[in-house]
Structure formats: structure tokens, C-alpha cells
Amino acid sequence: METRRLGKSNLEVSALGLGCMGMSFSYGPPKDKQEMTKLLHAAVERGVTFFDTAEVYGPYINEELVGEALEPFKGCVVIATKFGFDLSPNRDPRGMTGAPGLDSRPERIRQAVEGSLKRLRVDAIDLLYQHRVDTAVPIEDVAGTVKDLIRQGKVKHFGLSEAAAKTIRRAHAVQPVTAVQSEYSLWTRGPEAEVLPTLEELGIGFVPYSPLGKGFLTGKMDENTKLDPTDFRSTLPRFTPEAMKANQALVNLLGSIAARKKATPAQIALAWLLAQKPWIVPIPGTTKLNRLEENIGAAAIQLTPDDLREIDSSASKIAVQGARYPEKLEQMTGR
């Protein structure tokens, strides 16, 4: 697979990464560890070098899975992880679904890094994101703490997740930001207004998570899809039957382009993202080998300027229904 550089940094990764959250967290019960280890190995064998996890996924068990599975490939892969949620015993430990509080105090960041280093079985964290902006802690203090950790050799690169353009600028002034991770896809285009122009100006890479709309843009879901109560999508406004029915128009658009390109809707959704900027690296998640191979196939699809104009023109006429997150979680984004 071709590689891409995240902004002006020296961090080079596969054009498509692998989001590992769903292997242990949020999409129903944790999957079988042996099966997920095989999947992670299969990804490496197929050229994927960029893997995404976080301490809150589980908590902790996703980092443990990724660390153990990728230990044989140390030095050949890039593992990104995240800090920023309060995971102390008196807080709700359920992660995104239960919405624990935020905590990016410097001492908490240092504690999180020590835990992540052990679980990931590495000497230094390749890319460390602040998972969500904590308005109780100045972003300069967060960036300064990560700067110290980089100086100490415990972290290599600094990232932010779901941060606003002003916050990115303030952090970047203290410690250069290598990558920003936010949700971005054909049905979540918020970053285009301010974040992407800021990243281009500052030379920062962009890592879209949920590039397949949490599975919806694959064309395998509709208003009749029944989500398990342990699947966090069952709590999301965009996954009500009414919203899924309305948003089917976007899947139909992808399907029509896919038929012409002898591809799948998921591949067109990913190819569209890859075509936006050369410093964009989507991280679709999956727990299935056939889906992994399908996603990787998107890197070989070339969308022409006419294809891209057609997609943009048609998508602009489709009003996406439903918020990304319930209100409490939505308030944690774009700060």
C-alpha cells in the first residue's frame, strides 16, 4: 500500500490505517482475542502500518490487545493512542457510552502515558492524542506536558482529537501538532469549514475516524437494522430508524458511483476521503477480514475530477438527518 506523510512531520504511515476500538469496545461485547490478533497480523501483512487505540477503549483492554498483537512488528508499525478521560474508579467506566468526565491535568497525562507504554509494550508512544479538549485545563499546559514527554523520549508525536481550529493553533504554538483526528466522511463534513484549512496552513496531518459513518456508508444498514443495546450506535440520533431511512440517499449515491467503478460503496467513501488531500489518512475500523480487505482495496481506486464533482454536487443536495452524538457527547467536540 502507498504511504502518506502526516503533514510536515516525519511520520509516514500507510494511506489507510486501522481503527481498533470496535475489537474491544462500543460495538457490542469484546471480540475474541485470538481472532482479533489474527486480524491485526493480517492487516500488517497487507501493508497497514498505522493502528489507532486509546486507554478509554475498554478501558485499557484495547491497548493490551493491540500491544500484544503488534509486539512482533515493533519498529515497523505506528501505534497511536489517546489520553484525556477520567478513568478513576469513582467515575463511570463505560467510556463513550457512559460519558466519563474529562481529565487532562498534567499529572493525569503523565500517569496515562506510563500505563499506555506498559500496555502497548513500547518504549515510546508513536502518536499521542488528547482524546477530547478539556476546557478546565489550558491547552498550553496540555501541549507543554506532552512536549516534556517528547523531550524525555516517552512520546514521539503530539495529536489532538475533535479540537477546534483556535485550540489547534494555541497547542501548535507550544508543541508542534503532528495530526488531528476528528470524524470526517461524506455525512460528517464539519472539519471542512475551519479545521482542514488550518491544518493545511500549519502543515498538520488529518486522520478521519468513522470514515464509513460508523458502518452506515457501507450500504449494509437501513431503517430495519436492529442494533444490540450494547452497541453504542443504539444511543446515537443518526441511527434511529427515521434518520437511517432519510440518510439512505447518501448510500444510494455511493452505490451508483461504485457500480460504475466496479467497487463497493465503502470503497468509494474511502477513496473520496483519500482524494481530498494527500495528508489525510482515514482509519476505518473492522473486526472482519473480508471488510479489512475491502477497505484496503479503496486505496487503489482513482476518482477522477468529474467523479469528485459529481459526488460533491449530489451530496450537497442531501440533508443528513440526526446529530452525531447525544448532546452530552456532542458538547465535548469542536472546543
List the catalytic residues: 57
Closest C-alpha to 192, from 212, 210, 174, 206: 206
3-state secondary structure 82-149: EECECCCCCCCCCCCCCCCCECCCHHHHHHHHHHHHHHHCCCCEEEEEECCCCCCCCHHHHHHHHHHH
Q: Distance from CA of residue 284 to its chain's centroid?
A: 7
292, exposed or middle or buried, with CB in 10 Å at 0-12, 13-18, 19+? buried
Contact between 322 and 150 (Cβ < 8 Å): no
* Residue type at 174 in one-letter notation: V
Q: What angle (nearest 5°) sits at the alpha carbon of residue 87, between those of residues 332 and 152?
A: 90
- Other Cβ atoms less than 10 A from the Cβ of 277: the count is 15
